């Protein structure tokens, strides 16, 4: 298993951090059961603050100025909740039909511009340790050799996660898929930097971002960086409880449900 910091040794001076991000918020959140009957998953609260507002707070803390949010299920509730927020500036990309991760980003590209941008799942909850995960990603990003840079986390140390992991990562950060029937050391956190060229000749319509990840893998242009803080899979009511219990233990945040 590679040293989590192996790909940040001999760091170059900090590069300009992307100022634009996209938050994926269009899904139904069915695994949250009754919690999403009348509430879109991004508005589910963890210790009194919604998941999507926590993501926006983290983006703001890291200097993100413009955010595009795709919406579909109960879109008006998300848009109403966030309409008075001034920073970062928010634009919505409402989808008539669910376009999945790849199609949703492709549909929003005109709003995202021509430079690399962050993408974060709206249900992603993460805590930094010694370094900001987003800042480390910006430092490592290299447009000359990368089409996508994924923030990874230890498969066995993630809260609320019981999967087999997603990727292997060599010391340079180059990724490869988890072999079938094996457990990979690293999972994809749902946080990434993408270059718009990743979507060149994309299939259009509804499709998973994994289609484009596989293309980048074939060209050796999919990289990862290991997150040195905590990451929570808030995909089920049980995962939500784990996240709240941790925040209560670590920071004294109180449950509000």
Q: Does residue 9 fall inside a structural domain?
A: no
Does 154 reside within a domain? yes
Q: Is 149 part of any domain?
A: yes
Torsion sign across C-alpha atoms 134, 139, 140, 141: positive
Q: Label residue 114 left, alpha or beta by phi (over 0 means left) and psi (-120 to 50 means alpha).
A: alpha
CB 100 within 8 A of CB 54: no
65: Cβ contacts below 8 Å, ≥ 6 apart: 19, 20, 87, 88, 89
Query: Residue 11 domain-assigned?
Result: no
In CATH, what number is assigned to the domain containing residue 170? Answer: 3.90.550.10
Q: Across residues 180-200, what is the average pLDDT? A: 97
Domain membership flag for residue 220: yes
pLDDT digits over 55-76, tens only?
A: 999 999 999 999 999 999 999 9
Residue 125 lies in a domain: yes
Task: With respect to residue 77, please indicate whether it lies within any of the assigned structural domains.
Answer: yes
- How many independent structural domains does the chain possess? 1
Give the burial class of 55: count Cβ atoms within 10 A of its Cβ; 0-12 exposed, 13-18 middle, 19 or more buried: buried
pLDDT per residue over 102-123, tens digit each? Answer: 999 999 999 999 999 999 999 9
Q: Is the pLDDT of residue 9 over 90?
A: no
Contact 104, 24 (CB under 8 A): yes
With respect to residue 188, please indicate whether it lies within any of the assigned structural domains.
yes
Q: Which domain holds residue 189?
A: 18-251
């Amino acid at each position: 298993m590679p040293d989590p910091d192996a790909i940040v040794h001999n760091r170059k001076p900090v590069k300009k951090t992307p100022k634009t991000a996209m938050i994926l918020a269009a899904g139904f959140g069915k695994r949250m059961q009754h919690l999403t009957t009348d509430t879109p998953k991004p508005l589910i609260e963890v210790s009194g603050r919604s998941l999507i507002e926590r993501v926006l707070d983290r983006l703001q803390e890291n200097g993100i100025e413009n955010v595009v949010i795709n919406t579909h299920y109960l879109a008006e509730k998300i848009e109403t909740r966030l309409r008075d927020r001034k920073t970062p500036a928010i634009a919505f990309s409402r989808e008539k039909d669910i376009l999945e991760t790849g199609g949703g980003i492709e549909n929003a590209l005109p709003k995202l511009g021509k430079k690399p941008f962050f993408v974060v799942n709206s249900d992603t909850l993460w805590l930094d340790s010694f370094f900001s995960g987003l800042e480390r990603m910006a430092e490592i990003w290299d447009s000359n050799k990368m089409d996508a840079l994924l923030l990874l986390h230890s498969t066995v140390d993630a809260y609320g996660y019981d999967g087999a992991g997603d990727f292997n990562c060599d010391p340079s950060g180059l990724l490869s898929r988890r072999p079938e029937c094996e457990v990979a050391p690293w999972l994809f956190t749902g946080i990434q930097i993408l270059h718009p060229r990743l979507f060149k000749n994309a299939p259009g319509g509804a499709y998973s971002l994994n289609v484009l990840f596989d293309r980048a893998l074939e060209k050796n242009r999919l990289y990862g960086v290991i997150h040195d803080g905590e990451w929570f899979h808030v995909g089920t009511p049980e995962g939500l409880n784990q996240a709240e219990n941790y925040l209560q233990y670590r920071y004294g945040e109180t449950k509000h449900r």
